[in-house]
Amino acid sequence: MINCSLIVAFANHNVIGINNTLPWHLPEDLKRFRALTMGHHIIMGRKTYESLGRLLPGRTTVIVTRNTGYKLEGALIAHSLQAALVLAAGDDEPFVIGGAELYKEGLKLANKLYITEVHADFAGDAFLPEIDLSHWNLSEKLDHLSANDLSYSDLIYLRK
């Protein structure tokens, strides 16, 4: 099995996005995301890439798309999560960073979850699939209050 981690932020009701953007502004989480993923492969769906609008510096971007003609200078293109993981094989911790479809598939393969749980209600049209926590051990939980008064928790789960 190829080693990979999943990194995600979600709000109440498993909301991860709306209109291809994050529904909240949490600079502390963006800083954590950058620190964890720097120097690694980040695997994302095409729509997630398009919502970012750019390649993230210091990381190798792998875009998963069904479009066999899709090309993007500076990024690796794969047509399945499995193929993306093969492209990231030299990385000791490639990260699946979204969206919802890749998270669903990634949850079956990942051996580590980095979760930011935002303790608030937001409207959304993209949702994280339910995580069966019986397959996971919580290894770290840190509760925070952001500079803009948003309560959130950073959690790390390891596969049992």
Contact call for residues 116 and 128 (beta carbons, < 8 A): no
On whether the CB atoms of residues 95 and 5 are closer than 8 A, the answer is: yes
pTM, two decimal places: 0.95
pLDDT in tens, 87-140: 999 999 999 999 999 999 999 999 999 999 999 999 999 999 999 999 999 999
Domains of the chain: 5-159 (3.40.430.10)
